[in-house]
Amino acid sequence: MTLRRSLAFFLLLAVSTASCAATTYDTSITTQTAAPTTTVLPTGTAAELLPKIVAEAAGLSKLIADGGDKIAAVERMEALWAAARDEVTRNDRELATEIGAEVAKGRAAATFNRPGAADKVYRNLTALVTAYLSAA
C-alpha cells in the first residue's frame, strides 16, 4: 500500500510541476524613478492666492475629460493652498478646513478620472473663497 501511495504522490508531483510555464521578463519596463522636482511655493496674500486656486479648479474638469495634464493642475492647486493655508487658518479655521478638503477632493477627482467631481470641487471652492474674501 505504501508503494502505491508513494507512486501516486510522485505522479501527482510530476504532473503539477510539468505544467509550469517558463518565466519571461519584460525588459521594456524601467525601474528607475523620475527625478525629484523642486517646488517653490507661490507667494502672496490669501486674497491673491485663493482666486488662483478657483481658476485652476475651473479647468480641472476639462483636463480630466480631455486627457490633459490634470495632475499638474492639482499640484498647482495644492501649492497655492499650501502658501495661503496659514493665513486663512488664522482668520477662519472652519473655512480653512473646508477649502483644504475641497483641494484634496480635487486630487481624488483627477486621480480617479471623475470630471463631475471636479465640477463640484470648482463650485464648492468658488463659494468658500467668496465667503472668505467677503468676510476679510
CATH of the domain at 123: 1.20.120
Q: What is the pLDDT of residues 51-104, one digit of tens each?
A: 999 999 999 999 999 998 999 999 999 999 999 999 999 999 999 999 999 999
3-state secondary structure of 82: helix
Residue 96 lies in a domain: yes
B/e letters for 3-25, b = 16+ CB within 10 Å, e = fewer, are eeeeeeeeeeeeeeeeeeeeeee
Nearest partner of 58 among 83, 76, 40, 39, judged by Cα? 76
Q: Which domain holds residue 100?
A: 46-135
pLDDT of residue 123: 97
> Which one has a higher pLDDT value, 27 or 74?
74
pTM attached to this predicted model: 0.71
CA 45 – CA 40 distance, rounded (Å)? 16
CA 85 – CA 80 distance, rounded (Å)? 8
Residue 30 lies in a domain: no
Residue 41 lies in a domain: no
Residue 92 lies in a domain: yes
Residues 6+ apart with CB under 8 A from 125: 53, 54, 57, 99, 102, 103, 106
Residue 4 lies in a domain: no
Task: Work out how many domains the chain is built from and give that number.
Answer: 1
Mean residue pLDDT of the chain comes to: 86
